[in-house]
Amino acid sequence: MSRVALITGSTSGIGLGIARAFAERGYDLMINGFGPEEEIQQIVSHFSATYGIKVGYHGADLSRPEQCVDLVHFTCKMFGTIDVLVNNAGMQYVSPIEDFPTERWNEIVAVNLSAPFHVTKTTLPLMRSRGAGRIINISSAHGLVGSPYKSAYVASKHGLIGLTKTVALEAANQNITCNAICPGWVLTPIVQKQIEAKAREKNISMDAAAYELLGEKHAIKKFARVEQIANLALFLASPEAELITGACYTIDGGWTAH
Ligand code: NAD
């Protein structure tokens, strides 16, 4: 029987890269996230045709707890199991705290932190009943260190690491692990927007803005690649990683070594 991976926020960026890596290994996939309908249909049909796997899509808005639960139930109904859960969907907003809109705070905490809670809470009993499971939370270097103007993001990503450790302990000795990946800068739409904002604000080129962004944080002046994050997720889902749980793995070019 083929294995099943549910990957939230997998219509773009890191989530899409993780979905591709699991598809290449023959996992059936549940895709989730926003985007134009035709693009999502293309992703679904490309994965199923290229890799000969079953692919489902659920458009749950993860800021809504009941839709988080429905996503898990829909996946179970379609596949009968979830072997790997990747809590990847995330959002960013940048503003000094005194101007930070409260509704943005609520939305970011809902998607980045509460959604992994709701999805994990609903998935864990199923993993327990099957006697196996892997949960991988995509946190961030901002789950380990702060930066100004990112109060909601930094707080939610720190919280996600706390959730990771707690789930790891609750699921220990049940052949279920829970770990976090903490990327530095990865060139995806969420970061592209920040580069554009910097280029506008400083009246510099996109390349100069990208290099400045890297320079502020990464010791190694390169963006991490989506494939590198995906390969680590694959490793954490593998039998070789059975004793790795409650851990945070950075792929951040030395950002958090400072
Ligand atoms: P992205 O913007 O390319 O992708 C985000 C995905 O989440 C998309 O599929 C989007 O549709 C989905 N999403 C957003 N809000 C949602 C909601 N309410 N309900 C359902 N889906 C929703 O960004 P990315 O860079 O691929 O980010 C993926 C994860 O990696 C995020 O959690 C992000 O915080 C984290 N991360 C990214 C970087 C980076 O440099 N790109 C660094 C560290 C951590």
> 109-135: per-residue pLDDT in tens?
999 999 999 999 999 999 999 999 999
Nearest to 141 by CA among 106, 88, 186, 104: 186
pLDDT band at residue 2, thresholds of 50, 70 and 90?
Answer: confident
Question: Same structural domain for residues 51 and 113?
Answer: yes
**How far is residue 46's CA from residue 33's CA, in Å, rounded to a whole number?**
17
- Say yes or no: 44 and 170 in one domain: yes
Number of folded domains in the chain? 2
Structure confidence by residue, pLDDT tens digits, 86-105: 999 999 999 999 999 999 99
- Are 202 and 110 part of one and the same domain? no
**Ligand 1 neighbourhood includes 13 CB (under 6 angstroms):** yes
Identify the pLDDT of residue 83.
98
Distance 11 CA to ligand 1 centre (A): 9
Does the beta carbon of 140 lie inside 6 Å of ligand 1?
A: yes
Pocket test residue of 16, 91, 144, 198 for ligand 1, highest count of atoms within 8 A of CB: 91
Domain check: are 252 and 140 in the same one? yes
Residue 34 CA: nearest ligand 1 atom is 11
Whether 126 and 252 map to the same domain: the answer is yes
140 and 211, same structural domain? no
How many helices and strands in the chain, by DSSP H and E? 9, 7
Statement to judge: residues 114 and 218 lie in one domain: no
Q: Which atom of ligand 1 is nearest to the CA of 14?
A: 26
**Pair 214, 198 in one domain:** yes
| Alpha-carbon gap, residue 5 to 237, rounded angstroms | 10
What would the pLDDT profile of 33-67 be if each residue is shown by its tens digit?
Answer: 999 999 999 999 999 999 999 999 999 999 999 99
Banded model confidence at residue 26, pLDDT cuts 50, 70, 90: very high
Decide if 57 is catalytic.
no
Mean pLDDT of the chain: 97
Percent of the chain scoring above 90 in pLDDT: 97
Q: Which domain holds residue 46?
A: 4-184+225-257
pLDDT of residue 65: 98
The model's confidence at residue 153, banded by pLDDT at 50, 70 and 90, is: very high
Please answer whether residues 211 and 143 qualify as being in contact, where contact means their C-beta atoms are separated by less than 8 angstroms.
no
Strands 248-251 and 176-183: parallel
Q: Are residues 55 and 143 in the same domain?
A: yes
Tell me how far the alpha carbon of residue 68 lies from the centroid of ligand 1, in angstroms.
16
The arithmetic mean of pLDDT across residues 142-163, rounded, is 98
| Averaged pLDDT, 236-247 | 98
Supply the CATH number for residue 103's domain.
3.40.50.720
Atom of ligand 1 nearest to the CA of 190: 2
pLDDT of residue 1 exceeding 80: no
Helix (H), strand (E) at residue 7: strand 4-7
Q: Is the CB of 191 under 6 A from ligand 1?
A: yes
Judging by beta carbons within 10 Å of its beta carbon (0-12, 13-18, 19+), is residue 167 exposed, middle or buried? buried
Residues 134 and 149 in one domain: yes
Residue among 27, 51, 153, 249 flagged as catalytic: 153
Asked if pLDDT for residue 226 goes beyond 80, the answer is yes
201: number of Cβ within 10 Å: 9
Same domain assignment for residues 97 and 138: yes
Confidence of residue 18 (pLDDT cuts 50, 70, 90): very high
d(CA 247, CA 130): 23
Which residue has the CA at smallest separation from atom 6 of ligand 1?
9
190 pLDDT tier (thresholds 50, 70, 90): confident
Do 156 and 87 lie in one domain? The reply is: yes
User: In this model, does residue 69 exceed pLDDT 90?
Assistant: yes
